Structure 1
């Protein structure tokens, strides 16, 4: 069996399979009926094949028609593309000619419009960063459109726009020398939006209800500074807002037109309490020593003042009073009046030595505090510098402000140590003076008693 015969057989089986399926659906009662059913199935199959062939021919005809239409559209689009390319080239030549004509007609004005574009750009930047824009927020809108058109060489600015630019430049200059009040929406430090009167001091500062305000560029919002200057400045700001005319003394930031860096630096600098906390636990210990020295000095000054008054009163009284150091020394002299000079001197010297600790109590501790406080301050500075250099090792020196802040915090303990040591030294000198005066009187009176006994 060759390949052609095999293909014919397979094709016949493929044709008869539907007929067999149909015969299986209908059971034949006899051979005649079976033959009739087979013939009927062949006829049905032939009609179906004819219908399929007709459908295939119609689809082929339609596809051929669609292909013909697509080829025609392709030819039309190619012709249209050629026309558009030709038109584009002609338009490019026209644009180049018009542009050359524009440059020729501009002549010397071309340089002027270049300067005008630069001036408009600088003015737009200055106006957006100016505090005057808090009062007139929409005055730069025309500049955006003007600069965009001038940069694109599509249209020249009109005379009205040039005059408006000139007007805004002059208004900025005039408003920079005025102090005015205007209503505005202020964002408080708590984040609330409040409508209130705002006082503008030229282009330097904005004030409202005694608080200094900030106008961040590009936000179009007036915000209250989270930290305010000192109470005197806030009080002066309130006086300025309440003033009707005349001159009112008020603090302003001279760097306001350039961003207000001075005011920001002042309000961001830590206060004395924050500086004290920067000293850490060493700073707290130094402060505790300072408090102890003040209390000790106050107590000893009061005690020595009372002792000095009693000793002075004893000097004016011939009768010994044991309620003061001099009286007790005189009492010893009276009790040993008949003793020899050497024994009497020893007894008096012994009594003076007994009185000395009570008179000089606390002076040694004050001296120790005066010496230890600077050493503790130096210890805090050294440890703080170690921490700072460790941070530099980890993060580098890219931010000098961070490094300077760490060094500043490290030096706080040195300042605290000196602030404790210097007053403590002065207090020691102040208290030591009456103590030495009392001791000098005791020794002087002892020597006088011995001299009197010996008849010298």
Structure 2
């Protein structure tokens, strides 16, 4: 019964095919066996690879752990170096701030000195011979960067040159503007930063144009003779005029008219032109005339005898003789002074228009103040004349009252 059951089971599982299918079953069995063998071999291969990979992974893990430890050590060293560098940077920053403050202070001092020295060079008479020195200092004065060694050396050399040239009397060929406004080239003799002459005439340096200009009004003949002496000097000692004010005294000397050289110097400062001479002369004559009349009238009033004049009209005529002179001087002296002021102002503005850049503010103020002197002197003449006129006329009224009392 058992073989029959086995056969029945095989029939149920694979189907009964009969003897013809026996070869196929063998092939199937053989294929299954081969498949199992391959799978077993694959399992062996996978197991071998797994073991190999496991050993390799252990090595990789050890290498990775070693690299991690090395990286951590390097990181620690870098952090320590970073902290040290940060502390060093802070220390160097403080040092830089300290030294930078000193350097900035030094730069401020250099810039301040350069600005003052630039102004001195711009107004220096020496700049007419060496132009462009003030402009070369512009980077030091206006620059925001710390000056370099070349710029500082240039400033130092400029100061040395100015000091050296200030103590020299030199002659050089240069360009200047004559009194007519034309450009001329000639030999210019210079005494330091004080005086320059050419062609027997004094020259003035005009900073706005950077040129030497021959003023239309020159000092008197004695001063011009000194300029001629300087121009013809042959290297030995020579008497010459030096203007330490760098042009101011030259302007003052030029204000004295050539026609007033015979006057004392104390009067030349008062009489700056011929108009002043005429106005002040008229006021002086008028004041002397009025004073003489006042003295004569006062002496006459002291010795007059009202009893000798029976008629009041005759006495009044004698008492008021020449009194109109004092009244006229008192009334017109301020107008004469005012006329001198107006003419003086006109002449000052005329010089401003003709001399152009050679007339500075000082000369203008000097001309205007001199013009105002005429009005002041006119008032000084008029006020005493008014007082004398009032006093004398009061005395006349007293004498007329005495005559009226005596003669009824």
Specify the TM-score bucket, using the shorter chain as the normaliser: 0.3 to 0.5
TM-score by length of 2: 0.46
Larger Cα-atom Rg:
2
